Amino acid sequence: MSADGRSARRTAADIASAVAAGEESAAAVLDAHLAVIESREPDLHAFVSVLGDEARERAAAIDRSVAAGEPVGPLAGVPVALKDNLCTLGLATTCSSKILEGWRPPYDATVVRRLADAGAVIIGKTNMDEFAMGSSTENSSSGPTRNPHDTAKVPGGSSGGSAAAVAAGFAPLGLGSDTGGSIRQPAAFCGVVGMKPTYGAVSRYGLVAFASSLDQIGPFATTVADAALLLEVIGGHDPADSTSLDGPAPAARSRLGEGVDGLRVGLCAQLLTGAAPDVAARVHEAAEALAVAGARVEEVSIPEFDYGLSAYYLLAPAEASSNLARYDGVRYGLRVDAPDAAAMNRATRTAGFGAEVKRRIMLGTYALSAGYYDAYYGQAQRVRTLVVEAFARAYADHDVLLGATAPTTAFAIGSKADDPLAMYLSDLFTIPSNLAGHPAISVPFGTGDDGLPVGVQVLAPALAEPLLFAVAAALEVATPQEETVP
């Protein structure tokens, strides 16, 4: 297998069946991917840490199981890139923050355990915006990740490392977290599939919390079917997460290949307003493709979505300011010594947090402060309810909604770094699903005028993952073929 990323571009399902059948060793699969990493990682910086030795041990153990005729799971020997806010027992988990320097989690996240049970091989921990706050993976204590399609561009964020890793062929699968769009937006920028599950469908146990009422872990993959397979592996009830839904993982693959004949698709005006003309053109082509495949596409207006961004930027920082209070220089990672505890706490947080994290903590503390609580936090909660109700009305007449994932294709590194508001606007189209707790997916659909990937977003009601993946698969089949391999 060559190291140009192309021949490593096999699906996870393919690799797992070859490994399980003993036709190919997990060790060889791993080596092929490590070779791709060696050749391109210096230019991309997708990883905070590559777990070569741990992964080799794991691959060898899978090969021994295959040789012994023991059952191996549905991801046997498949390399997976993990966002560095997912706890890995004994292995550094940094959230790309200085404040977690040197911290090694005493447990595995539930999704990490489920990956291990399924036979997957964790190949590395990926770079991210610090504590998942950002849309470009530039807010990282170890420097930015670059877009594999054009290294002058951002990969999106905050799960930019996982998106870039999958796009570059470093691993066929990746995991990210999506609080306001952090899986779907980087998936769109990097030309891969990225999906945010229904809130509660995937356990958050061991996901370092940003905004707990919005955070969800979800899959990155090069195909819709692989993303669905990964969701089936990581999803399902977990008693360790009090917000975990009862029941098994969504049967994400159950309707793949069913097509969209007769489905009612709502092309949502608010998920296009403000999109660049080339991005909007791809979304219209996607709508047309679904119509050709038999769907009934109608335009729908959901004005409440326009208030989503403002509500999110009160709610998410409010929850973050509370969640991040735990980094006190005592319990985790960095400590900057000072004469007394309060001074130590202040010095540690001053040195350990980056500028964007500090901005969020201050915004959130302000939104929650006495006298302002009702005007800001309370009002934002009421807007959240309006968004939920607006979705319910839209879904009375439509099975799924369609729109852009992000307003533009990948932007230049540095171009929004000094303008938080411009950066926040990248999430305009992804935030409504987080506020409602609904699933949504970004599917690559052609390219923009700059030749960079465009993502089309499909949104569905809570727990409608099988339907969501069916529509995504129909879009995948209709994708314009000129796509570039980075």
Q: What is the set of active-site residues?
A: 83, 158, 182
Q: Cβ distance 94 to 84 under 8 Å?
A: yes
Q: Is 135 a residue that touches ligand GLN (CB under 6 A)?
A: yes
Q: Is 442 a residue that touches ligand GLN (CB under 6 A)?
A: no
User: What is the C-alpha separation between 465 and 249, in angstroms, rounded?
Assistant: 10
- The single residue among 132, 224, 225, 256 that binds ligand GLN, judged by CB under 6 A, is 132
Q: Which stretch binds ligand GLN (CB under 6 A): 29-37, 40-48, 174-182, 454-462?
A: 174-182
- The single residue among 73, 181, 194, 219 that binds ligand GLN, judged by CB under 6 A, is 181
Name the minimum Å distance from CB 356 to ligand GLN: 8
Q: Cβ distance 198 to 437 under 8 Å?
A: yes
User: Which 199-228 positions form the footprint of ligand GLN (CB under 6 A)?
Assistant: 210
Q: Which stretch binds ligand GLN (CB under 6 A): 175-183, 273-281, 333-341, 389-397?
A: 175-183
- From the list 314, 302, 431, 308, the residue with the least C-alpha distance to 366 is 314
Q: Which is nearer to ligand GLN, 155 or 180 (CB)?
A: 180
Q: Is 85 a residue that touches ligand GLN (CB under 6 A)?
A: no
Radius of gyration over every alpha carbon of the chain, rounded to an integer in angstroms: 21
- Kindly report the length of the chain: 486
Q: Which stretch binds ligand GLN (CB under 6 A): 129-137, 326-334, 387-395, 408-416?
A: 129-137
Q: Which is nearer to ligand GLN, 66 or 271 (CB)?
A: 271
């977690």: which residue's tokens? 100
Helix (H) or strand (E) holding 79, with range, is strand 79-83
User: What is the C-alpha separation between 342 and 137, in angstroms, rounded?
Assistant: 31
Q: Which is nearer to ligand GLN, 134 or 191 (CB)?
A: 134
Helix (H, G, I), strand (E, B) or coil at 431: helix
Q: Cβ distance 261 to 295 under 8 Å?
A: yes
Q: Is 41 a residue that touches ligand GLN (CB under 6 A)?
A: no
Q: Is 174 a residue that touches ligand GLN (CB under 6 A)?
A: no
Q: Which two tokens stand for residue 31?
A: 């080596």
Neighbours of 261 (CB within 10 A): 10
Name the minimum Å distance from CB 173 to ligand GLN: 19
Helix (H) or strand (E) holding 356, with range, is helix 355-367
SS3 content of the chain, % helix, strand, coil (to 5): 40, 15, 45
User: What is the C-alpha separation between 280 and 347, in angstroms, rounded?
Assistant: 47
Q: Which residue is nearest to ligand GLN (CB)?
A: 182
Dihedral, CA of residue 140, residue 143, residue 148 and residue 149, to nearest 10: 90
Q: Cβ distance 276 to 391 under 8 Å?
A: no
Q: Is 198 a residue that touches ligand GLN (CB under 6 A)?
A: no
Name the minimum Å distance from CB 253 to ligand GLN: 25
Q: Is 408 a residue that touches ligand GLN (CB under 6 A)?
A: no
Give the contacts of 101 (CB within 8 A, at least 6 positions apart): 94, 333, 334, 352
Q: What is the DSSP string of 110-161?
A: HHHHHHHHTT-EEEEEE--SGGG--SSS-S-TT----BTTBTTB---SSSHH
- The single residue among 179, 321, 323, 345 that binds ligand GLN, judged by CB under 6 A, is 179
- The single residue among 158, 203, 222, 457 that binds ligand GLN, judged by CB under 6 A, is 158
Name the minimum Å distance from CB 68 to ligand GLN: 42
Phi-psi group of 98: left, alpha or beta (phi > 0 → left; psi -120 to 50 → alpha; rest → beta): alpha
Residue at 361: amino acid letter: I
Name the minimum Å distance from CB 239 to ligand GLN: 25
Q: Which is nearer to ligand GLN, 210 or 220 (CB)?
A: 210
Name the minimum Å distance from CB 275 to ligand GLN: 17
Q: What is the DSSP string of 378-405?
A: IHHHHHHHHHHHHHHHHHHH-SEEEEES
Q: Which stretch binds ligand GLN (CB under 6 A): 21-29, 72-80, 171-179, 267-275?
A: 171-179
Neighbours of 9 (CB within 10 A): 15
Q: Which is nearer to ligand GLN, 132 or 271 (CB)?
A: 132
Q: Cβ distance 466 to 250 under 8 Å?
A: yes
Q: Is 270 a residue that touches ligand GLN (CB under 6 A)?
A: no
Helix (H, G, I), strand (E, B) or coil at 50: strand
Q: Which stretch binds ligand GLN (CB under 6 A): 178-186, 248-256, 339-347, 473-481?
A: 178-186
Q: Which is nearer to ligand GLN, 134 or 144 (CB)?
A: 134
Q: Which stretch binds ligand GLN (CB under 6 A): 69-77, 92-100, 179-187, 233-241?
A: 179-187
Q: Which is nearer to ligand GLN, 158 or 442 (CB)?
A: 158
- The single residue among 95, 109, 118, 133 that binds ligand GLN, judged by CB under 6 A, is 133
Q: Which is nearer to ligand GLN, 211 or 400 (CB)?
A: 211
- The single residue among 134, 219, 266, 333 that binds ligand GLN, judged by CB under 6 A, is 134
Q: Is 316 a residue that touches ligand GLN (CB under 6 A)?
A: yes
Residue ranges binding ligand GLN (CB under 6 A): 132-135, 158, 177-182, 210, 316, 427
